[in-house]
Chain A
Amino acid sequence: MSLSVKKTWNESLFLGAEGQQVCIDLQSLTEDWPIFLFLKGIGCQKVYFEPQAKEVLDLWTQRMSEYEQEFIQDPENFTTADHFWNEKSSNLSVNLIRCEFAELQVEKIQISLGPVPPMEAPLGIPEEAARRFVEEIQTQSAKETLHRILQILKEYDREARAKDLTIWSNLVADVLCISLQNHLLDKSLQVANDHTEVLKSIWSQTDRVVQIFAAYDPKGSELSQWAKLFETCSTTDLLRCLENHLSSVGGPQMIKLMNYRAQNQAEELIEICFSYEGKFTRQLLQWLAPHWRQKHYARIRESFLKTLKRKDRDLELIHGWIHALLRSSRREAFLELKKLFKKRNFFWKRPPVDISIQKEIVSALSEDRNSETYAFLQEIHPRASVEISNRIEELLQHFKPAGSKK
Chain B
Amino acid sequence: MKALIIKNISSVFTCDFRLFEAEIAALSKVRKYDEYTYLHSLNVARLSVALGKRLGLTDEMIIDLGWAALLHDIGKLHVPLDILNKMKKFSGDELAIMQSHPVEALTSFAETHTVTLERLRRLSAAFEHHQRYDLKGYPIVQKKLNLHPFSRIVAIADTFDAMTTDRIYQRRVLPDVALKIMAQGFGTIFDPTVLQAFITCMGVYPVGSLVKLSNDELAVVLRYQETSTLDRPEIFLIEKKEARHLNLMDPQFKDLRILKSEFPEDHEIQINDILTEASAERESA
Contact = CB atoms under 8 A, between A and B. Distances in A.
B19 interface: no
A321 B97 CA distance: 60
B56 A164 contact: no
Given A3-B200, A178-B116, A116 B184 contact: no
Interface string B78-97: 10000000011110000101
Interface in B229-267: 229-231, 233, 259-260
B185 A69 contact: yes
Interface residues of B, number: 104
Given A72-B181, A121-B224, A170 B110 contact: yes
Interface string A121-158: 11111000111011011101010011111011111101
Interface residues of A, number: 86
A401 interface: no
Contact of B137 (A73, A80, A118, A121): A73
Given A41-B178, A148-B124, A152-B106, A175 B169 contact: no
B278 to A, nearest CB: 13
A102 interface: yes
Contacts, number: 254
A275 interface: no
Given A1-B231, A37-B177, A134-B55, A77 B193 contact: no
A74 interface: yes
A116 B50 contact: yes
Nearest to B143: A151
Interface in B18-62: 36, 39-40, 42-43, 46-47, 50-51, 54-58, 61
Nearest to A153: B106
Interface string A61-92: 00000001101111111111110000000000
B74 interface: no
B159 A72 contact: yes
A317 B229 CA distance: 88
A3 B171 CA distance: 24
B6 interface: no
Given A117-B202, A151-B141, A178-B120, A122 B226 contact: yes
Contact of A41 (B127, B173, B186, B225): B173
B171 A134 contact: no
B193 A41 contact: no
A41 B163 contact: yes
Which of A30, A73, A115, A171 neighbours the largest number of chain B CB atoms within 10 Å of its CB? Answer: A73
A124 B197 CA distance: 6
Nearest to B122: A145
Interface stretch (A104-112, A327-335, A355-363, A391-399): A104-112
Nearest to A83: B89
B200 A81 contact: no
Interface string A169-190: 0110011011000100000000
A42 interface: yes
A113 interface: yes
Contact of B169 (A1, A40, A79, A171): A79
Given A72-B189, A163-B107, A171-B115, A121 B230 contact: yes
Which of A1, A77, A109, A152 neighbours the largest number of chain B CB atoms within 10 Å of its CB? Answer: A152
Given A125-B193, A159-B103, A171-B115, A149 B224 contact: no
A287 interface: no
Given A3-B183, A134-B56, A155 B141 contact: yes
Contacts of A107: 166, 168
A402 interface: no
Contact of B98 (A77, A145, A160): A77
Interface string B196-240: 111111111011100000000000000111101111010000000
Contacts of B206: 117
Contacts of A69: 184-185, 188-189
A281 B259 CA distance: 87
Contact of B181 (A71, A110, A182): A71
Interface of A: 1, 3-5, 29-30, 32, 34, 37-38, 40-43, 68-69, 71-82, 102, 104, 106-125, 129-131, 133-134, 136-138, 140, 142, 145-149, 151-156, 158-161, 163-164, 167-168, 170-171, 174-175, 177-178, 182
Q: Which 7 A-B pairs have the closest CB atoms?
A: A124-B200, A174-B115, A121-B224, A119-B201, A117-B206, A121-B203, A41-B173
Interface of B: 8, 11, 36, 39-40, 42-43, 46-47, 50-51, 54-58, 61, 78, 87-90, 95, 97-100, 103-104, 106-107, 109-111, 114-117, 120-121, 123-124, 127, 130, 132, 137, 139, 141-143, 145, 148-150, 159, 162-163, 165-171, 173-175, 177-186, 188-189, 193-194, 196-204, 206-208, 223-226, 228-231, 233, 259-260
Given A121-B228, A125-B196, A130-B56, 9 more contacts: A3-B180, A74-B99, A77-B95, A125-B193, A125-B200, A148-B148, A159-B100, A170-B110, A174-B114
